[in-house]
Chains A and B, each alone.
Chain A
């Protein structure tokens, strides 16, 4: 009887100790296109697992804004050690939740337009939002945001929902930075050109490449994918006179991850060439750090924004909810 009791107790003790072994696991919340088989996820996982001798577990949600919502919803009890895929439009709000810890990462190798000094979030890539169009079905692409808004309503565009998607939010801010208080009127016109509003970037881009829409909101870097991987110039970015809105994608360590030494290790890995080398040709964005091999020449043929647009993080934090509701109000009419 006593041995039985002993074995029972020891089994329980082992069971209780299991979470300690689980510390050899790193849980990263990210967006869907990052973990898809053609995204950076699989390569990053392989490279980092080889380096750390641990297990990387990706959990994916539709897109960047949904990512923040998910973490907010889970609060302190979140399983995420790292949240990867927020952008600069969300960082201030993410910090306010108190769910993120300082990264402690050396930022000297980080290179993004406008420089970087945030102590919590670390950039891993950047890009400029752009309207991508199919040169075979759209002969006269819009040359400015104004032309996009005022153009032929029969030529449709697929966009993303700002409530879930960072490109969706990006377009909202882009329109805001060009139109200011007149943004609702602009959306009321643009609405007629919108084929559908998808929750994440991958849905709308899929819709576009399937030929369901001649235009899609994406990045200036998206055509590089088609040039490099598909050897076609069929899809191009439309340069806009007003300039293009900048997106810097970042990752941050959660308060849960602050307890896990692997989290910081991953963040350091993230700004190293091991990670950065995979970014240009899997996530199809500009790397935010040093790479070992140079970018494919196709990246030189991409649209270079005449002007970089950005709204300050404070303004966004103060107004995001109101602006999104304003958008929802117009779009639901």
Chain B
């Protein structure tokens, strides 16, 4: 191990999750990629300083996955916090997000650490050699292949498998077996789907519901509600105000900052919903309002989404401004068309 390439130790901040990660430059992996809506967090500089890695703004360009040493993100718990761990890339989140979002099963302590600020980043002692995540991945996959070869030995019933699994492998299945297997498969699929759905509800929907309910409680119980009503009703209570909200949210320099986690949109939606419930905003305006609060939709996610589409670096460089411009061009017309479509709703 070269003395000059020091490793960096990153621990979780208070209320954070995961870690500690110990990472350093390793062969081709020498880039710190930050996908944080454009600005460069201070920890990126510190990590680069310690390890000698190069900082790359993932929002402007893309980096081949095998050159990323660590990804730095600011995800509030929807998508990005799971995407890099899924690809086996160590991930540092500036926000205090734990295991959440649709890819939460990939967020583990070995590869992910959150609520990180400059104080959580330090030089690692040499004795704490980092375990390369890629190696562990390879190990598990080779173990799996071993398992598969073991179970290939032929016998009527194997102790490794349930009767159903053995039957499924037999070549000449009787009709009854086929029906049984089919029914079993469907029921298992339902059961697994139910498990996934409950997981999503528990870890993603209900926490947000709690947050929103508290917000509503404070707004309505404290009298701030009346203040909000005075601001929101003229703004969200007519089509011009809604188009103004849509315009502001779609401004190309603002939209990537409003995007993360859809949190801004969800809070705005809740505020407008409260006013609709109180009768301060006519219910048919709910439709244009849905479009107005979300003209920034996915603007923060463009490079990651294009990455999922296996786009070339060139495409990402063109795609980010292109989508921001098109969101801006579309934003207000969407609200207007939605308003036209809202005639006759709830009359």
The answer on A and B forming one complex is no
